Structure 1
Amino acid sequence: MNSLPAPITIIRPQIIEFGVGVAGRLGTWAVAQGYRRVLVVSDAFNASRVNLLGLQGAITLFADVRPEPDTHNLDRLLEVANSADAELIVGFGGGSAMDLAKLAAVLAGSSQSLQDVVGPNKVAARRRVGLAQVPTTSGTGSEAGIRALVTDPETQAKLAVESIHMLADIAVIDPGLTMTVPAATTAATGVDAMAHCVEAFTNRKAHPLIDLYAIEGVRLVGRFLARAVADGSDAEARAGLSLASLYGGFCLGPVNTAGGHALAYPLGTRWHVAHGAANALIFPHVLAFNSPAVPDKTAAILAALGFAPAASQEAVFDAAHGFCHTLGIEMRLSALGVPKDDLPVMAGDAFAIRRLLDNNPRDLSQADILSIYEAAY
């Protein structure tokens, strides 16, 4: 674990608008910047309410963002982006829309392809267009980060791009936009936001400058997630979750996630389990597995969620599992359509995600990963 003197770089959007009702401030900002041609990257539902952003000028809508988008989805977006010749690209939706918007901002009109930029710091030049992010869920924190993920349909692997050139010029976070999110999705994405914070807090790269956001993000989820699930129109609860998600995004840049996300990814790439649901199902298992390596931080996480200190790994698991189960989240792989005979293949896929597993506070062998999948089955 890193100490206080360890070097760290903090990167976040220059402008962050936060609060119920601020969505229309994007249009005001865009006009002030002189943007006349705008491409909005969204799913079909959010495309139907793009007027809430107050955008003016020639607006092109790409409304075909898919959950867990793959390279084909990105290729279709890039065709639209090249045709639109936009001056501003807006990601309007969940993490999938925002990640595709980031990639379009640096690849449209560029001589580089996706394969050229996979990995850290491979985007060759500053982007030519503005980039704005407007989240409509409270989970990914992608509005604040410099990473984007897209799935390779041939290998079923996540391709991760990281570049300062994908940092948004402005992030507009209006919790009112999340009030239409169904209870089950609210629960799963809320635990995903918490997982970002927990995995950063317990990370081998953990740093006190990020710990502050991480543990507060966990507290916000512990305080507000059940309320938002019970009443989607609870403005204070929705704002609390939006802030937790933003804090999770702050954690991702300088520290990133670890074992939990590595184990969750194959559920999405191979069996199309929603990212939030996958992370929620895996979360208690990895928290308990890691607890011997980070006992004090595990105790702080449980306290932030309202639980007493746990005396054993089993007690850690029971508390975290109970938190997720009480929210109505499905906590069995078998109930999500994952066949048991695929668990060893999934374990191999997860074990190969070294960019995350190497951050984990306790080494996870392929056998450990398989054991976790079997316990979750």
Structure 2
Amino acid sequence: MTDLLHPIEIDRPTRIAFGPGLVGTVGKWATEKGITRSLVVADAFNAARIDLLDLPGDVTVFGEVKPEPDIPNLDAALALAARVQPQLVIGFGGGSAMDLAKLVAVLPGSGQSLHEVVGPEKIAGRRVALAQVATTSGTGSEAGSRALVTDPATQNKLAVQSRHMIADLAVVDPDLTLTVPRAVTAATGVDALAHCAEAFTSRKAHPLIDLYAIEGIRLVGRFLARAVADGSDREARAGLALASLYGGFCLGPVNTTAGHAVAYPLGTRHHIAHGLACAVIFPHTLAFNAPAAPEKTALILDALGLGGAPDVLAASHGYCAGLGIEMRLSGLGVSQSDLAAMAEEAHAIRRLLDNNPREMSRERILAIYRAAL
């Protein structure tokens, strides 16, 4: 059976506003909808600039989103939502804020707990409007139907997927990313790259998504180094914002593979930012999967300007290191003694590893951690 004969369903935000200066679109849209009571879910930095949203009526802010949100962080946001009873929930920030906003939009008043909705399509519905405003270029969460929250008891990420968590409005204003520091720009840019590359080489890859995946990789190859070198480069920022959005398009119907599975324990156990964790792991899983997807791997390297490189690992590792990313796990506080437990946890993430083009054993994951140490 060819890829074209595999059925696929694609869900997108009802409305997407992309371009510099469009952050105020959410306020105009809310006014058109007659919204008078909103709840903004944001990190501390973005909570201080909610005036940019130009929201009408009463606006409440939950400005305590953590970089790797956990259940207590979500519970605090849900408690505020239960008190405020918003008509509109807005995620304003990176993937963490937007993921929490999705859950805040669907759980209050639903009679469902977080653990009851973990997995695909278990959410009963949504009674409030949902808007997402991205302020980083990496996760593409503004376009997606998934939300991830860490369970402190197990140190695992709980993944919720539902069409009810797709935004009514997604705003991608690249000018909001002009303040993102160089190191974060680099790491989140590689996260967007990983979304596209993993979807492109996945067992579930589909021509309809390949289109977004390879173009997202080309955009990263063209603009990421520029944005890292000069954060005020507005064209580069816009290119990365589009790459991130395309990566978000890849996540719904195809999703990521081993790269994200292997990266997750770095965030849950060591609180390494998600983009950075993905960047450290990306070259290793790209190289591991190359024998199973040689033609697509060659296209990925070409799109990054690395065409013809004889060693996939060396080329992709050099690309990430050239962006100034710390590529050693030891440099990020991970010790040798942590690796076996991390490999065990990563190997259990079947929802991603089962998408991988090559079977990846626990021992292979451990070998990747050791190589990255």
TM-score normalised by structure 2 residue count: 0.99
Tell me the residue number matched to 1:213.
Answer: 212
**2:221 is the counterpart of 1:222:** yes
Tell me the residue number matched to 2:305.
Answer: 306
State the distance in 2 between where 1:91 and 1:308 align: 38
Tell me the residue number matched to 1:187.
Answer: 186
Tell me the residue number matched to 1:14.
Answer: 14
Letter in 2 for 1:51: D
Percent identity over paired residues: 69
Q: Compute the displacement of 1:367 (Å).
A: 0.3
State the distance in 2 between where 1:307 and 1:65 align: 37
State the distance in 1 between where 2:213 and 2:105 align: 29
Task: Report 1:1-377 matches (<5 A).
Answer: 3-124=3-124, 126-311=125-310, 315-377=311-373
State the distance in 1 between where 2:3 and 2:249 align: 19
Q: Compute the displacement of 1:310 (Å).
A: 3.6
Q: Compute the displacement of 1:2 (Å).
A: 5.7
State the distance in 2 between where 1:219 and 1:34 align: 40
8 A contact 1:39–1:61 mirrored in 2 = yes
Q: Compute the displacement of 1:279 (Å).
A: 0.2
Change beyond 3 A, Cα 1:328–1:2: farther
Q: Compute the displacement of 1:3 (Å).
A: 1.0
State the distance in 2 between where 1:34 and 1:270 align: 44
Cα-to-partner distance string for 1:231-271 (whole Å, 9 max, x where unaligned): 11111000000000000000000000000000000000000
Q: Compute the displacement of 1:56 (Å).
A: 1.1
Letter in 2 for 1:123: I
Cα-to-partner distance string for 1:142-176 (whole Å, 9 max, x where unaligned): 00000000000010000000000000000000000
State the distance in 2 between where 1:48 and 1:350 align: 36
Letter in 2 for 1:109: G
Cα-to-partner distance string for 1:271-314 (whole Å, 9 max, x where unaligned): 00000000000000000000000000000000000112244xxx
TM-score normalised by structure 1 residue count: 0.98
Q: Compute the displacement of 1:108 (Å).
A: 1.3
State the distance in 2 between where 1:307 and 1:353 align: 31
Letter in 2 for 1:321: H
Secondary structure of residue in 2 paired with 1:334: helix
Secondary structure of residue in 2 paired with 1:38: strand
State the distance in 2 between where 1:92 and 1:308 align: 37
Cα-to-partner distance string for 1:170-215 (whole Å, 9 max, x where unaligned): 0000000000000000000000000000000000000000000000
Q: Structure 1: where are the runs of 5+ without partners?
A: none
RMSD: 0.8
Secondary structure of residue in 1 paired with 2:210: helix
Higher mean C-alpha deviation, range 302-311 or range 209-218: 302-311
State the distance in 2 between where 1:326 and 1:146 align: 33
Letter in 1 for 2:287: A
State the distance in 1 between where 2:345 and 2:75 align: 25
State the distance in 2 between where 1:103 and 1:2 align: 36
Letter in 1 for 2:86: A
State the distance in 1 between where 2:249 and 2:365 align: 27
State the distance in 2 between where 1:294 and 1:300 align: 10
Q: Compute the displacement of 1:110 (Å).
A: 1.6
8 A contact 1:152–1:159 mirrored in 2 = yes
State the distance in 2 between where 1:364 and 1:309 align: 26
Secondary structure of residue in 1 paired with 2:292: coil
